[in-house]
Chains A and B, each alone.
Chain A
Amino acid sequence: MKLKKGIPVIDQGDKLGFWGGKFGGNFVPETLKKPIEDLEILFNKLRKDKNFINERDRYFKNWVGSPTRFIKLENLTKHVGGAQIWSKVVSDANGGAHKIYNATVHCLLAKRSGKKVICGDTGAGYAGKMLSMAAKKFGLKCKIFMGAKDIQRQQPNVRAMKKNGAEVIPVYSGSQTLVDAVSECMRYWVANCDKVAMCVGSTVGPAIFVRICGWSTSQISRELKTQLIDEFGSIPKKLKLYNCVGGGSSSFGFWNEFMDYDKKQCEFIGVEAGGPANSKKHAAPLTYGSKIGILHGAAQYVNQNTDGQIEETESISAGLDYPGISPLHCFLKDTKRARYTAASDEEALNAYKVVTKFEKLRPSLEPSHAFSVAIAESKRLSKDTIVVVNSCGDAYKDRGIIERRLGKKYV
């Protein structure tokens, strides 16, 4: 298995949509074959269309608010006493997280295809909130599927979705989290694909959704590349990019433009959700060596039992609480381009405490996982190493959990 240079990773899949010959694909009911093919044709055409690119860039700039800040975390760097710690504050983006890029692109595509309704899944509520914002912006009706457990723990985002006019549909099946929300959303699309467009909230699902999402979030690394050159004159000799990984959309977008650099110069570190320290359950299929299986239309490493039943996950962070992982990350792991590890709930909470103590930055529980590993590893790194953590979400949505776990003064 080999990563090719000079070709975008999203285009390195084979004819049937498999990366490295085995990750991804289209394991979908027959009914979805046609709508998926239609979407493929539309996307392949529009991404080469200058007008479409200009339209996208205009919305990214004027509405999403590009570029998001790239800042040095001076106090944290001093406190840790090793590598320089920087952050790409993607949570600056309109709505407070990276999910806005994929949502905007999907709504633009839906508009071009003439669909009037868009449906989507959400875990932490960000994908849903952004889709509801974009749908409102582009005059589309919006339906969001969300696990009943997640609705309970991510109330601020649920309120935002409703305020934007979206219908939030609670999903009571299975573990009542993201995995069930994605299943239910796909089922809704199966039954309504003639009139409704679907937005998959991360780089997961049938191959075309993986590609569209990766293409959309790559805006993050496009900005970062320019910002690094502005700051340092060139891409630093020792650069380490830390990102949390749930489905994998923010991390893929954070790394994409640096793919062709040697990993000795530019290393990618993906941090999965290890779950509570005292629990066997986790949401870290890459770190803990889960077997390859099929989930939501794609072959990927996924938590499952020997019979092929998908296993329940556990994580404090709803956005990372997913048993599978993007086929793109499976590919990056097996080609050894990226390194993956996990942080526990407690480690993430602790990192949140440390970051908010030293900096005017409030990473949500998802990027707090990445901060945890970045802080731990930075201690042992030289001062000329540039560590960048993608702060891809804002902690506002987590205030309930943070208050409960850490006390009121941390909210």
Chain B
Amino acid sequence: MFNPISLAFKKAASENRPALLTYTVAGDSSKKQSLEILKSISKKVDILEIGFPHNTPVADGSQIQTSSYRAIKNGIKINDIFKIIKDFKKFDKNKPVILMGYYNMIFQYGENKFLRKCKISGVNGLIVVDLPWPENKKFASKCKKRSIFFIQLLSPTTTKNRLKKIIKDSHEMIYFISMLSTTGGKLKVSSKEILYNYDKIKKINSKKNIVIGFGITEKTIKSLKKADGLVVGSAICKEITNSIKKRQNPVTNVYNVVNRLRNKIK
């Protein structure tokens, strides 16, 4: 079945630019405000990644942790997250949405019930940070049956043999982690090296849409332009934190950041 994620990549490619993906935490800083942020950045972004916050995140740096704790403290529950997505989709039904989080929350909710809810709310893809290949095989095929992309992650530590196997089992989109880091780390390798690794993956199967994430900011985004897609997360979460500190409106500030990011890869 047709998945709007594929269309988003096609559209960006036809405009000769990478797709822009943003990551925000559902419920940060409140349920209402996180929906407003999604609505406001929607027209500048090709794919929206929405995090379901967990309180023992083993792969997230301090920015996303701060956002996650804030959202949890403000009472966000899984059902609220589905509601936010549903409400967003009423506003912009064709914009692809990817949910991203940790497996325990899916496990507690029940895999099948979780996927049914995803389908009803309009989720198009899933990233589960701590459910690597091959442990994710069963769950990934459940996603596929419901036309939800399960997005495999690749890292600079992934061996070549493993790369091939994961890519073979992957759906149309793959997430490449730029460097050894938690989210939001300072880019500690050159963009040349990142793109070298990216090309290695691309060579294995050029049809897959590969996005690069981790360490991407207004400063670094331009140098990675040739990728199929680029994900910015921590820089946005940081903007929300700073806006709250300065008593400014996070919605406008986040919009401005996203707008600048988009202009850099035009």
Least CB separation from A310: chain B residue: B56
Indicate whether A81 reaches chain B with its CB closer than 8 angstroms.
no
Nearest-neighbour CB distance to chain A for B75, whole angstroms, equals 11
Nearest-neighbour CB distance to chain B for A302, whole angstroms, equals 8
State A194–B180 Cα separation when bound (angstroms).
8
B49-89 CB mask vs A (1 if < 8 Å, else 0) is 00000111111110001000100100001100000000000
Whether B56 pairs with A31 at a CB distance below 8 angstroms is no
Whether A309 pairs with B132 at a CB distance below 8 angstroms is no
Indicate whether B102 reaches chain A with its CB closer than 8 angstroms.
yes
Indicate whether A187 reaches chain B with its CB closer than 8 angstroms.
yes
Indicate whether A35 reaches chain B with its CB closer than 8 angstroms.
yes
Known interface pairs A297-B130, A307-B105, A308-B107; A30-B158 also in contact (CB < 8 Å): yes
Indicate whether B220 reaches chain A with its CB closer than 8 angstroms.
no
Interface residues of B, count at CB 8 A: 41
Whether B154 pairs with A30 at a CB distance below 8 angstroms is yes
Whether A294 pairs with B55 at a CB distance below 8 angstroms is no
Residue in A16, A30, A174, A190 whose beta carbon sits within 8 Å of that of B56 in the complex? A174
Nearest-neighbour CB distance to chain A for B255, whole angstroms, equals 29
Query: Using Cβ atoms and an 8 Å threshold, which residues of chain A touch B97?
Result: none
Query: Using Cβ atoms and an 8 Å threshold, which residues of chain A touch B153?
Result: 29-30
Whether A193 pairs with B157 at a CB distance below 8 angstroms is yes
Which positions 173-196 of chain A face chain B at CB distance < 8 Å? 173-174, 179-180, 183, 186-187, 190-194
Known interface pairs A183-B58, A190-B181; A29-B104 also in contact (CB < 8 Å): no
Query: Using Cβ atoms and an 8 Å threshold, which residues of chain B touch A296?
Result: 56, 58
Least CB separation from A25: chain B residue: B135
Whether A194 pairs with B157 at a CB distance below 8 angstroms is yes
Least CB separation from B101: chain A residue: A308
Indicate whether A405 reaches chain B with its CB closer than 8 angstroms.
no
State A220–B182 Cα separation when bound (angstroms).
37
Whether A307 pairs with B108 at a CB distance below 8 angstroms is yes
Query: Using Cβ atoms and an 8 Å threshold, which residues of chain B touch A180?
Result: 56
Nearest-neighbour CB distance to chain B for A334, whole angstroms, equals 18
B104-120 CB mask vs A (1 if < 8 Å, else 0) is 11111100000000000
Least CB separation from B159: chain A residue: A34
Nearest-neighbour CB distance to chain B for A321, whole angstroms, equals 14
Least CB separation from A33: chain B residue: B132
Query: Using Cβ atoms and an 8 Å threshold, which residues of chain A touch B12?
Result: none
Residue in B133, B135, B154, B180 whose beta carbon sits within 8 Å of that of A191 in the complex? B180
State A187–B58 Cα separation when bound (angstroms).
5
Whether B157 pairs with A191 at a CB distance below 8 angstroms is no
Whether B181 pairs with A27 at a CB distance below 8 angstroms is no
State A17–B135 Cα separation when bound (angstroms).
10
Whether A174 pairs with B155 at a CB distance below 8 angstroms is no
Which positions 30-60 of chain B face chain A at CB distance < 8 Å? 54-60
Whether A295 pairs with B104 at a CB distance below 8 angstroms is yes
Query: Using Cβ atoms and an 8 Å threshold, which residues of chain B touch A190?
Result: 58-59, 180-182
State A309–B53 Cα separation when bound (angstroms).
9
State A30–B77 Cα separation when bound (angstroms).
26
Whether A186 pairs with B104 at a CB distance below 8 angstroms is no
Q: How many A-B residue pairs have CB under 8 A?
A: 114
Query: Using Cβ atoms and an 8 Å threshold, which residues of chain B touch A192?
Result: 180
Interface centre among A25, A29, A183 (most CB of B within 10 A): A29
Nearest-neighbour CB distance to chain A for B200, whole angstroms, equals 15
State A310–B131 Cα separation when bound (angstroms).
18
Least CB separation from A191: chain B residue: B181
Whether A31 pairs with B54 at a CB distance below 8 angstroms is no
Whether B130 pairs with A28 at a CB distance below 8 angstroms is yes
Nearest-neighbour CB distance to chain A for B60, whole angstroms, equals 7
Whether B130 pairs with A29 at a CB distance below 8 angstroms is yes
Residue in B65, B102, B132, B185 whose beta carbon sits within 8 Å of that of A294 in the complex? B102
Whether B180 pairs with A173 at a CB distance below 8 angstroms is no
State A35–B185 Cα separation when bound (angstroms).
20
Least CB separation from B157: chain A residue: A34
State A16–B133 Cα separation when bound (angstroms).
11
Whether B104 pairs with A293 at a CB distance below 8 angstroms is yes
Query: Using Cβ atoms and an 8 Å threshold, which residues of chain B touch A25?
Result: 135
Nearest-neighbour CB distance to chain B for A123, whole angstroms, equals 15
Residue in A174, A291, A294 whose beta carbon sits within 8 Å of that of B130 in the complex? A294
State A193–B106 Cα separation when bound (angstroms).
27
State A27–B139 Cα separation when bound (angstroms).
13
Known interface pairs A27-B131, A28-B130; A307-B77 also in contact (CB < 8 Å): yes
A197-232 CB mask vs B (1 if < 8 Å, else 0) is 000000000000000000000000000000000000
Whether A306 pairs with B108 at a CB distance below 8 angstroms is yes
Query: Using Cβ atoms and an 8 Å threshold, which residues of chain B touch A193?
Result: 157, 180
State A251–B153 Cα separation when bound (angstroms).
37
Which positions 146-194 of chain B face chain A at CB distance < 8 Å? 153-159, 162, 177, 180-182, 185
Which positions 146-192 of chain A face chain B at CB distance < 8 Å? 173-174, 179-180, 183, 186-187, 190-192
Residue in A16, A28, A31, A183 whose beta carbon sits within 8 Å of that of B57 in the complex? A183
Query: Using Cβ atoms and an 8 Å threshold, which residues of chain A touch B132?
Result: 26-30, 33
Indicate whether A122 reaches chain B with its CB closer than 8 angstroms.
no
State A173–B70 Cα separation when bound (angstroms).
12
- 18 of the cross-chain contacts (CB-CB < 8 Å) are A26-B132, A27-B103, A28-B130, A29-B59, A30-B153, A31-B155, A34-B157, A174-B55, A183-B58, A187-B59, A187-B60, A192-B180, A293-B104, A294-B103, A307-B78, A307-B109, A308-B105, A309-B105
Q: Which 3 A-B pairs have the closest CB atoms?
A: A308-B108, A294-B104, A308-B105
Given contacts A27-B104, A27-B131, A190-B59, 5 further A-B contacts (CB under 8 A): A29-B129, A34-B158, A173-B69, A304-B104, A310-B104
Question: Which chain B residues have a beta carbon within 8 Å of chain A's beta carbons?
Answer: 54-61, 65, 69, 72, 77-78, 102-109, 129-135, 153-159, 162, 177, 180-182, 185
Question: Which chain A residues have a beta carbon within 8 Å of chain B's beta carbons?
Answer: 16, 25-35, 173-174, 179-180, 183, 186-187, 190-194, 291, 293-297, 304, 306-310
